[in-house]
């Protein structure tokens, strides 16, 4: 399926930071390594479905709303957002920090929605972004039910890539962290994903009792000492439980 594979590569290029919104045919050809004529043909195939559109002024191409429309039809995304948003808003009000909602996809957590704090200093992660599971509170919450063998099947060989000096890089270390999550009901991230950022996360379950998502509160380390994390954790856990209840859990 060469043609489809190339088509997706063009889409991914347009979605990449490298493209920064608009790209010319030649840029895409260079970025993907495909011949210019091929890229142009693919773009023409996308246009009628509104996956891409051409800026009539510059002649350059950009992603368009057709792909946004399809992307928001991923099963669960609407229900999750609707169930979670009110709880996230009140959690943001309580904690005065940014609240994130994510699901698992492979070895990444995909950010589905967020509610920003109105603090001046805050973590800016875009919706749709990916974060490595092994380096985040969201990841620990999403994987909290996984045993050592299941984890080994998800992640590659050790040591796992270090995002910061504090990132957990071993199966044993991560399994111990998950044990703590199961015991306490919440997960933490002590500057394991980004230096100076701490998080507290909790798992969300659906009617089959399986963990299908997670929420987290994240803030700069100076506003998030260890005791503050413990203070916020019950609110995070409660919010996650409330969302789970809306999804039929409990």
Partner DNA sequence: TTCGTCGTTTCACCTTCCGGAACAGCATTC
Partner DNA sequence: GAATGCTGTTCCGGAAGGTGAAACGACGAA
Stretch in the footprint of its own copies (CB under 8 A) among 69-77, 145-153, 228-236, 239-247: 69-77
195 binds, among DNA, its own copies, none (CB under 5 to 8 A by kind): none
| Residue 1 contacts DNA per CB under 7 A | yes
Stretch in the footprint of DNA (CB under 7 A) among 23-31, 116-124, 177-185, 220-228: 23-31
| Residue 149 contacts its own copies per CB under 8 A | no
Rounded to whole angstroms, the Cα distance separating 143 from 51 reads: 34
- 80-83: which pairs have CB atoms within 8 A and are 24 or more residues apart? 80/112, 80/113, 80/204, 80/212, 80/213, 80/247, 81/112, 81/113, 83/243, 83/246, 83/247
Q: Are 114 and 100 in contact (CB under 8 A)?
A: yes
Rounded to whole angstroms, the Cα distance separating 121 from 21 reads: 26
**Which residues make Cβ contacts (< 8 Å) with residue 190, sequence separation at least 6?**
166, 198
Select the residue interacting with DNA from 10, 14, 19, 25 (CB under 7 A). 25
25 binds, among its own copies, DNA, none (CB under 5 to 8 A by kind): DNA
CA 81 to chain CA centroid, Å, is 13
Q: Least distance from C-beta 114 to its own copies, angstroms?
A: 9
Alpha carbon separation from 60 to 10, 18, 21, 27, 64 (Å, rounded): 14, 14, 10, 10, 12
Q: Are 15 and 52 in contact (CB under 8 A)?
A: no
Select the residue interacting with its own copies from 18, 35, 36, 49 (CB under 8 A). 49
Using DSSP, state whether 219 is helix, strand or coil. strand
| Residue 21 contacts DNA per CB under 7 A | no
Q: What are phi and psi of 149, to 5 degrees?
A: -70, -40
Stretch in the footprint of its own copies (CB under 8 A) among 111-119, 132-140, 156-164, 179-187: 111-119
For DNA (CB under 7 A), the number of binding residues is 22
| Residue 154 contacts its own copies per CB under 8 A | no
Select the residue interacting with DNA from 10, 14, 19, 34 (CB under 7 A). 34
Select the residue interacting with DNA from 9, 11, 38, 228 (CB under 7 A). 38
**E strands in the chain:** 52-54, 61-63, 98-105, 108-115, 130-132, 187-190, 197-205, 211-220
Which positions lie near its own copies, rule CB under 8 A? 1, 3-5, 7-8, 11-12, 14-16, 21-22, 41-42, 44-46, 49-51, 62-75, 77-78, 81-82, 85-86, 89, 103, 105-106, 110, 112, 115-116, 118, 126-130
Which positions lie near DNA, rule CB under 7 A? 1-4, 6, 24-27, 34-38, 40-44, 54, 59-60
């Amino acid at each position: 399926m060469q043609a489809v594979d190339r088509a997706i590569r063009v889409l991914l290029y347009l979605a990449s930071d490298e493209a920064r919104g608009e790209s010319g045919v030649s840029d895409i050809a260079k970025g993907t390594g495909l011949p210019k004529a091929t890229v142009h043909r693919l773009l023409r195939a996308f246009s009628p479905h509104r996956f891409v559109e051409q800026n009539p002024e510059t002649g350059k191409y950009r992603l368009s709303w057709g792909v946004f429309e399809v992307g928001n039809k991923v099963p669960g995304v609407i229900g999750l957002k609707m169930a979670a948003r009110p709880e996230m808003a009140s959690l943001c009000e309580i904690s005065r920090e940014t609240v994130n909602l994510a699901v698992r996809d492979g070895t990444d957590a995909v950010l589905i929605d967020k509610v920003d704090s109105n603090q001046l200093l805050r973590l800016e992660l875009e919706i749709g972004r990916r974060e490595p599971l092994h380096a985040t509170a969201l990841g620990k919450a999403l994987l909290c039910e996984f045993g050592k063998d299941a984890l080994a099947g998800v992640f590659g060989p050790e040591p796992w890539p270090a995002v910061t000096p504090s990132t957990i890089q071993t199966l044993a270390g991560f399994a111990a962290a998950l044990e703590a999550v199961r015991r306490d009901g919440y997960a933490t991230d002590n500057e394991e994903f980004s230096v100076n950022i701490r998080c507290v996360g909790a798992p969300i379950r659906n009617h089959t009792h399986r963990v299908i998502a997670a929420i987290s509160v994240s803030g700069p380390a100076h506003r998030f000492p260890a005791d503050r994390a413990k203070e916020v954790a019950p609110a995070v856990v409660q919010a996650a439980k409330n969302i789970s209840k809306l999804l039929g859990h409990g």
